[in-house]
Amino acid sequence: MEIQNMKTVEAIIRLERVGDVRKALAKKGFTSMTLFQVTGRGEQKEARLDLAVGSEVVFDLFARAYIVMAVEDDKVQEVTEIIAQTAKTGSKGDGLILVRPVEKLVRIRTGEETP
């Protein structure tokens, strides 16, 4: 594995899209990932819930999935397209994808380290 040719792909998506995204990635051979459940807010409006007359609860943080993948440089475009196409609903709050360089990788089991 050449570290110089790797990036991390990080995606924040709607929880209800995680299953479809994982299936679409696996279908193309991308099965390694770390998945977190997080809360956050982007451009979408807060949700308001009327509990009773005169009582209102405002939700301004929403549950999302945070996916992190180490991907070879030449596969980044394919991975980001799969995630974007599969996670998209067309509404605010669909999420975002970040791509970052990998500076160093250490395999814990073997101690193998790449510069």
Looking from the CA of 5 toward its CB, the CA atoms found within 13 Å total 5
**Residues contacting residue 20 through CB under 8 Å, at least 6 positions apart:** 86, 87
51 confidence band (pLDDT: 50, 70, 90):
low
Sign of the alpha-carbon torsion through 35, 24, 20, 86: positive
> What mean pLDDT is predicted for residues 34-56?
77
12 confidence band (pLDDT: 50, 70, 90):
very high
pLDDT for 88 beyond 90: yes
Amino acid 30: pLDDT = 97
pLDDT for 111 beyond 70: yes
Amino acid 114: pLDDT = 78
